[in-house]
């Protein structure tokens, strides 16, 4: 089995066998997410040209291997029942091996991209969602403090990544009714509930927002007591964490705490050496301005969508189809009032015949997203988590190929009944946990995983675990956009 290359200057992303996005050393990466919409301008006006990278013709082969690893989260082989459509798009010119190719989408500032990327900048953003209230006060969403367009204007361009995780967030959506752990009075939560994290060519930017209605007010003081005062920005108090090192693997690291009233924003920058001095003031100025504006006039979490000729169908909002009620139905415990989401930053392409037993040589476009509903502990490792990962294609055949290509890597086995169009349970832990349920519904390849720190999967029967997830999959399927 081929393994994907590790890209230069990138750390391996936790729990994933592929090389990007690069995760900052601190704070740890988070997950979370919002609803999506179709259409709207792509927020990359005048994006500068990213560094030229050599074309990697091996990427399609390796992407096939990644799929075989990353998507192998179910339990067995599958019986094809209903497959319609060839992928939902017109094929491009045939390649030398006889398959149709998808033409690249040209975006200003992007060139010499890996073969795995069809559209490097398809994300759109809309700031019209209603505000959410927690503890009787409106929430200031972390991602509302620095938009995609403002990130680009600050000098950090999202790195195109067709696999989920290039854009991560945790946000309050008010759906769950579970309690949140109070946490320490002396340190800020290790796994904050309100976060936003971007991974770009120049490095990463993460924002964690703490407010007194869901964070210990004392911790919001004690947790940053050693930070050094900086000049205030637009009425926002700014302090900086003392430097512990000048750089990390060719990147400069800086952490700031920004306070306005009962809201504290922690901004972490891990930026390419020599560029922090340019990026830092622009990011801090934007965050300060947004803190003031969004405190005066509360806003909701930004709505992220996809607008791409390579993906002409409605994108899937994983956190909309994975409901808080699903978590409670499975665990008998109410979900916390926040969700975690991972979003892909590019439309990808895949040829399933490369490195697998699938004979279909056509290329297919896809996007990937993931969502988690959890309990409310302050540390993610202590939370019970129901996780949904979705790879969305433009037609049924591609999703069926996905199941056929990845099942063997998961050592998938059937459960007592078919879920959706086809399904299996993962019996081999590698990219996914044994006991996860992999299923297909139309053009979607989905993976459900239950993680319970008090009941680790080791030693449990994978089929029994997947059987528990089947009724949740039944609830999810009718919510999918066909």
- pLDDT for 143 equals 98
Average pLDDT taken over every residue of the chain: 82
- DSSP for 401-445 reads HHHHHHHHHHT-B--SS--BTEEEE--S-SSS-TT-EEEEETTEE
CA distance 401 to 279: 43
- pLDDT for 111 equals 85
124's tokens: 């759109």
Residues of the chain with pLDDT under 50: 1-86, 88-96
* pLDDT tens-digit readout, 8-48: 333 322 322 222 233 332 222 322 222 222 222 222 222 22
The greatest distance separating any two alpha carbons of the chain, rounded to the nearest whole angstrom, comes to 65
Q: Where are the domains of the chain?
A: 59-120+304-479, 142-159+182-300
- pLDDT for 247 equals 61
Intrachain domains 59-120+304-479 and 142-159+182-300 with the same fold: yes
- pLDDT for 355 equals 87
CA distance 396 to 124: 25
CA distance 34 to 363: 29
- 8 A C-beta contact, residue 251 and residue 273: yes
- pLDDT for 48 equals 29
- What CATH class does 142-159+182-300 carry? alpha beta
Please state whether the predicted TM-score (pTM) of the whole model is above 0.85: no
- Bridge partners (DSSP) listed for residue 124: 305
- pLDDT for 98 equals 65
CA distances from 95 to 41, 100, 101, 111 (A): 32, 6, 7, 21
CA distance 104 to 136: 48
* pLDDT tens-digit readout, 329-380: 999 999 999 999 999 999 999 999 998 999 999 999 999 999 999 999 999 9
* pLDDT tens-digit readout, 285-299: 999 999 999 999 999
- Bridge partners (DSSP) listed for residue 171: 339
- 8 A C-beta contact, residue 368 and residue 344: yes
**Residue 446 half-sphere exposure, CB side, CA atoms within 13 Å?**
33
> 59-120+304-479 has which CATH code?
3.40.1000
How many degrees, rounded to 5, is the angle at CA 123 between CA 254 and CA 398? 120
């Amino acid at each position: 089995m081929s393994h994907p290359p590790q890209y230069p200057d990138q750390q391996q992303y936790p729990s994933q066998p592929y090389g990007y996005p690069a995760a900052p050393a601190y704070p740890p990466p988070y997950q979370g997410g919002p609803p999506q919409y179709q259409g709207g301008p792509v927020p990359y006006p005048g994006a500068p040209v990213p560094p030229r990278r050599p074309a990697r013709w091996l990427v399609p082969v390796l992407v096939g291997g990644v799929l075989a690893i990353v998507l192998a989260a179910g339990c067995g082989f599958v019986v094809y029942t209903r497959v319609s459509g060839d992928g939902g798009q017109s094929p491009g010119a045939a390649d030398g091996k006889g398959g149709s190719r998808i033409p690249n989408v040209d975006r200003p500032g992007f060139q010499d991209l890996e073969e795995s990327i069809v559209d490097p900048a398809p994300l759109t953003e809309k700031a019209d969602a209603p505000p959410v209230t927690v503890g009787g006060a409106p929430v200031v969403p972390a991602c509302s403090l620095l938009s995609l367009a403002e990130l680009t204007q600050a000098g950090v361009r999202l790195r195109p990544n067709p696999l989920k995780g290039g854009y991560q967030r945790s946000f309050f959506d008010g759906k769950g009714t579970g309690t949140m752990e109070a946490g320490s009075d002396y340190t800020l939560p290790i796994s904050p509930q309100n976060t936003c994290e971007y991974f770009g060519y120049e490095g990463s930017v993460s924002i964690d927002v703490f407010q007194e209605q869901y964070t210990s007010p004392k911790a919001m003081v004690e947790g940053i007591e050693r930070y050094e005062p900086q000049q205030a920005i637009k009425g926002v108090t700014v302090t900086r964490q003392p430097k512990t090192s000048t750089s990390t693997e060719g990147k400069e690291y800086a952490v700031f705490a920004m306070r306005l009233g009962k809201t504290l924003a922690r901004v972490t920058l891990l930026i390419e050496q020599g560029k922090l001095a340019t990026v830092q003031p622009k990011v801090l100025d934007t965050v300060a301005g947004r803190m003031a504006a969004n405190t005066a006039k509360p806003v909701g979490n930004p709505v992220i969508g996809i607008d791409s000729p390579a993906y002409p169908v409605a994108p899937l909002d994983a956190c909309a189809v994975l409901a808080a009620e699903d978590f409670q139905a499975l665990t008998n415990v109410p979900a916390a009032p926040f969700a975690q989401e991972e979003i892909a930053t590019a439309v990808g392409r895949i040829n399933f015949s490369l490195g697998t037993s699938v004979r279909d040589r056509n290329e297919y476009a896809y996007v990937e997203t993931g969502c988690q509903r959890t309990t409310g502990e302050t540390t993610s490792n202590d939370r019970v988590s129901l996780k949904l990962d979705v790879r969305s294609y433009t037609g049924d055949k591609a999703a069926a190929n996905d199941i056929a290509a990845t099942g063997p890597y998961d050592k998938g086995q059937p459960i007592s009944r078919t879920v959706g169009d086809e399904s299996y349970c993962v019996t081999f832990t590698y990219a996914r946990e044994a006991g996860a349920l992999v299923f297909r519904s139309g053009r979607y390849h989905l993976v459900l995983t239950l993680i319970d720190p008090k009941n680790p999967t080791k030693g449990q029967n994978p089929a029994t675990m997947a059987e528990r997830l089947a009724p949740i999959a039944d609830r999810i399927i009718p919510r999918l956009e066909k």
